[in-house]
Amino acid sequence: MNMQEFISIIEEEFDEVEKGTLTPTSSFRQMEGWSSMHALILIALVDNHFDVLLTGEELRGLNTIQDLYDLLASKKAEWLS
């Protein structure tokens, strides 16, 4: 999974995000109207697509798309291959 594929999956799931606007340095917390509901949507998305269960605590420590990608990569070694 490369970064571009990862970004398109996230853009697909979040109606609020215009396609092609996210970059690795985008902060999902600064997304307009970000709330705890979005956190649930993000946890469900990551679980459904990548079979990784993020805890609330892990998510709180993340800020950008790159942070999220790196965390998932550290949990799924096969991603980097």
Partner 1 sequence: MAFLKTENTRISAIYTCVPQKIERTEDYEWISMQERQLFTKTTGIIERRVASESTTCSDLCFEAANQLLNDLKCKNEIDLVLFVSQSPDYFLPATSIILQNRLGIPTKSMAFDVNLGCSGYVYGLSIASHFIQSGNIKKVLLLAGDKSTISTNYEDKSTFPLFGDAGTATLLEFDENANNWFFSMASDGKGKDAIIIEHGHSRHPYGTIEDENKEIELGIIRSKKHLKLNGMEVFNFALKEVAPSIKELLQFAKKEVGEVDYFVFHQANKLINDSVRKKLKIEEAKVPLSIDYYGNTSSASIPLTICKELSNQVLNENNKYLFSGFGVGFSWASVLLNLTDVKTKMIEYA
Q: How far is the CB of 39 from partner 1 (least distance, A)?
A: 6
Residues 6+ apart with CB under 8 A from 17: 10, 11, 31
For residues 16 and 33, the answer to whether their CB atoms sit within 8 Å is yes
Q: How far is the CB of 32 from partner 1 (least distance, A)?
A: 9
Q: State which residue, 24 or 34, has the beta carbon closest to partner 1.
A: 34
Q: How far is the CB of 52 from partner 1 (least distance, A)?
A: 10
Give the residues lining the site for partner 1 (CB under 8 A): 15, 33, 35-41, 43-44, 47-48, 53-56, 59
Give the residue from 49, 50, 41, 52 showing the smallest Cα distance to 17.
41
